[in-house]
Amino acid sequence: MKKFLIALALAAAANAGFISEGIQAQQSGDHKKLAEIYERACGLENKASGCYNLAVLYFEGTGNVEKNFEKAISLYEKACSAKFALACNNLGYIYESGNGADQNFTKAAAYYEKACQDDEGCTALGLLYANGAGVKTDIKKAISLYTKACNYGDMMGCNNLGYLHLEGMGVEKDYVKAKAFYEKACAGGVGIGCDNLGFLYAFGQGTEQDY
């Protein structure tokens, strides 16, 4: 199951108070206090990052709270409505995977679209367009989304661009470009990018054959 990250380092200065409290509670292992801090930040202070962090606790069943997908989704929706991109991205994942809610690719695409406006979820949205899941198949759109993701630092987007250039899907087949994208993905820590780069060397595609 995909693990969601607590957004302790993503808040603006206005959120510094509860973020600082949250870090202290997390470091001390005081999970009950951590949940209370996020509850207050979300409910009383109306901070989107507080709602997001509380949603992660309910989704994972950590922080001394009982796992509750329905409550987690409600909190993610509140944070997403406040333009907290990570929350929108996580909702996209929930509906894409069917983990926590009934699988619904149309909803997944809609949430990834919102997330991608702030540079989250663009690769996932690109995959939906590439496969025609919840949206009409559109390879050009997928390329655009992968490119945005890759430029922003999502190395899986770079890997996927490498695959499209390798196969000539929506672009002219170009092993040299495929190699460049796989190299970028591999350098960024994406294991499958390293594997794909290895295959290019093994078969001498875009480079001299080198076992």
pLDDT value of position 18: 60
Residue-wise pLDDT tens digits, 170-207: 999 999 999 999 999 999 999 999 999 999 999 999 88
pLDDT of 87 above 70? yes
Report which of residues 2 and 77 the model is more confident about: 77
What's the pTM?
0.86
Section 135-162 average pLDDT: 98
Cα distance between residue 187 and residue 184, in whole Å: 5
pLDDT of 34 reads 83
Per-residue burial over 169-207, b if 16 or more Cβ lie within 10 Å, else e, is ebbeeebebbbbbbbbbbebebebbbebbeebbeeeebe
Q: What is the pLDDT of residues 3-60, one digit of tens each?
A: 666 554 344 434 446 666 665 656 555 567 788 889 999 999 999 999 999 999 999 9
Predicted confidence at residue 199, as pLDDT, reads 93
- Please report, as a single letter, which amino acid is at residue 9: A
Exposed/middle/buried for residue 109 (C-beta within 10 Å: 0-12, 13-18, 19+): buried
Given a cut of 60, whether residue 64 has pLDDT beyond it is yes
Residue 206: per-residue pLDDT: 86
